[in-house]
Amino acid sequence: MLGTWEIILIVLVILLIFGGKKIPELMRGLGKGVKSFKDGVNGKEDEAVADEKAKTPDAKAKEEVKEEKSNEAK
């Protein structure tokens, strides 16, 4: 277990290495990475997959017809 002095020393070294301006950017990136990892572990779907599932059957059918027409035109 880390004691108080060890934690203070680690924080000071991080401040010296990265500087005060870079730390928020690093933490933001770390937070996004952790959130992405948790979403992956919990099985949450990508937004694109969720949007596809949210479409009504009529909207899907219309899109398929448009795709078929565009493929035929080629």
The predicted model scores a pTM of 0.41
Tokens of 10: 């680690």
Ranges under pLDDT 70 in the chain:
44-61, 73-74
Task: Give CA separation, 57 vs 38, 69, 70, in Å.
Answer: 31, 18, 20
Helices (H), the chain: 4-18, 23-42, 47-54, 57-73
Q: How many Cβ atoms are within 10 Å of 25's Cβ, its own excluded?
A: 10
Per-residue confidence (pLDDT) for residue 20, from 0 to 100: 81
Cβ distance 48 to 40 under 8 Å? no
Per-residue confidence (pLDDT) for residue 51, from 0 to 100: 58
